[in-house]
Amino acid sequence: SAITIQFVKSFFFSDYDPTIEDSYVKQCLIDNQIAQLEILDSAGQEEFKPMREQYIRVGEGFLL
């Protein structure tokens, strides 16, 4: 989503074109240690519910 791109790239796309899913990687400083965040931005649409359940099984953190 546009907010994910804003977080990862520090840029806001006003004409963002949504897809089924996009993935991003961003390094952040957390508790004085560099952490690599692997972000999967899923569509959240009802027809992709089986994919969402898979993401929940293997994910370590979620942002709703």
Residue 63 counted as domain residue: no
pLDDT at 50: 79
64 occurs within a structural domain = no
Within-domain flag for 13: yes
Range of the domain at 48: 2-58
**Count of the separate structural domains present in the chain:** 1
Q: Per the domain annotation, does 50 fall within a domain?
A: yes
Average pLDDT, the chain: 83
pLDDT given for residue 43 in this prediction: 67
Identify the CA nearest to 36 among candidates 47, 49, 27.
27
CA separation for the pair 4, 18 (Å, rounded): 11
Tens of pLDDT, residue by residue over 27-47, are 999 999 999 999 988 766 667
**pLDDT confidence of 13, banded at 50, 70, 90?**
confident
